Amino acid sequence: MGLRKFFKDAFNDMKESAKEQCQVDKANFAAAKAEAKANFEENRGKNTLKKAKENAKKSWDDAHMTPAQRKQKTSNERLEQIKQAEERRKVAEERYENARVNKP
């Protein structure tokens, strides 16, 4: 009897978890859709033929990289992201210290 209850509870928990995850997925999808619509409206009229050609060339060049070039490019991008994250961390730490020191 205990094993039966265990499985029943486990499946009910999985069912509830799946329902909650579905709600999260729907909310994320709706947010992404709204962001895409907003980006489209913000950029309407700003995308020119020159810009489209530049993006196409970049895409073409990215597609025809050697594996070593692609690895180097992604490595450089990661290093840049790390540098930006470090700068954001430093700014946040300064804000924290200022808020902590200037507390009334």
Query: Domain-by-domain residue ranges, the chain?
Result: 1-46
Chain-centroid distance, C-alpha 49: 28
pLDDT at 60: 86
Mean pLDDT of 18-29: 92
Give the C-alpha separation, 78 to 68, whole Å. 15
Mean pLDDT of 72-81: 93
Model confidence band, residue 57 (pLDDT cutoffs 50, 70, 90): confident
Taking residue 28's Cβ as centre, other Cβ atoms within 10 Å add up to: 10
pLDDT at 85: 95
Over the chain, what is the mean pLDDT? 88
Give the C-alpha separation, 65 to 38, whole Å. 33
* CB 65 within 8 Å of CB 73: yes
